A and B are shown apart, each in its own frame.
Chain A
């Protein structure tokens, strides 16, 4: 069974600084997808970024980028130039290539200090 682990229950960052959120996962599959979702106080789940395991290049979306280390089964999220609106719970998630269901990590609560 696949598992996703986020070892940082809480993180904080100063506005305009950079922060990295950690995620590790366990799977026997060779092809799969990894995601970072943001859940602000509104509780709406928002996709931040996704990575396809067969792609070696790390995904980027504006200020958000990932460090995908397939051999180490690590998938960290870097947020650059942090903004107050980035404050939220962040979830790392995994999905097999052909599957539909997502497996979520425990989440990391990010606080952005002005």
Chain B
């Protein structure tokens, strides 16, 4: 199957700093990628849809200025958590789907963000 690589897998940052998470589709092009947030023992919550070459579409309640998404190429989307706060500590997962039609979505390994 297709591979989606997410980096870093773990990151610790200080409050007030920014941290960038990368999501790459290694063997396919993805015009659309998705960013999820997952709290312990809970489901995946869609944060935003990342569209190559255009602005991301954010879900209701997600702060656009705090969670900056850039999808500069067909294989790379980045999520930047700005002015990180301990409440931003969570597990972040990206996914991408090659092509259209009935192809399945593939997920990155996830990033554990801890803000201290």
Q: Kindly identify, within residues 88 to 116 of chain B, every residue whose CB is under 8 Å from any CB belonging to chain A.
A: 91, 93, 95, 97, 102, 104-105, 107, 109-110
With a cutoff of 8 Å between Cβ atoms, the chain B residues found around residue A43 in the complex are 38, 91, 93, 109-110
- A44-B110, A105-B43 given; A100·B32 CB < 8 A: yes
Number of interface residues of A (CB under 8 A): 21
Within the assembled complex, what's the spacing in Å between the Cα atoms of A102 and B49?
Answer: 11
Q: In the bound complex, how far is the Cα of B43 from the Cα of A106, in angstroms?
A: 5
Of the candidates A44, A100, A107, the one whose C-beta lies within 8 Å of that of B97 is A100
Query: CB of B34 within 8 A of chain A?
Result: yes
CB-based contact B46/A101 at 8 Å: yes
> Is the pair A101, B107 in contact by a Cβ cutoff of 8 Å?
no
Q: Could you tell me if B110 and A104 are in contact, using CB atoms closer than 8 angstroms?
A: no
A104 touching B49, Cβ below 8 Å: no
Say yes or no: B44 contacts A100, CB within 8 Å.
Answer: no
Chain A CB within 8 A of B54 CB: no
Shortest distance from the beta carbon of A37 to any chain B beta carbon, whole Å: 8
Determine, out of A14-22, A45-53, A61-69, the stretch whose residues face the partner at the interface: A45-53
A102 touches B105 (CB 8 A): yes
Residues in A with CB closer than 8 Å to B107 are 44-45
| Chain A hits for B93, CB < 8 A | 43, 45
Q: Which B residues are within 8 Å of any A CB, using their own CB? A: 32, 34, 38, 41-44, 46, 49, 91, 93, 95, 97, 102, 104-105, 107, 109-110
B-binding residues in A (CB < 8 A): 33, 35, 42-45, 47, 50, 52, 89, 91, 95, 97, 100-102, 104-107, 109
Ranked 6 nearest A-B pairs via Cβ: A45-B107, A43-B110, A104-B43, A104-B44, A106-B43, A107-B43
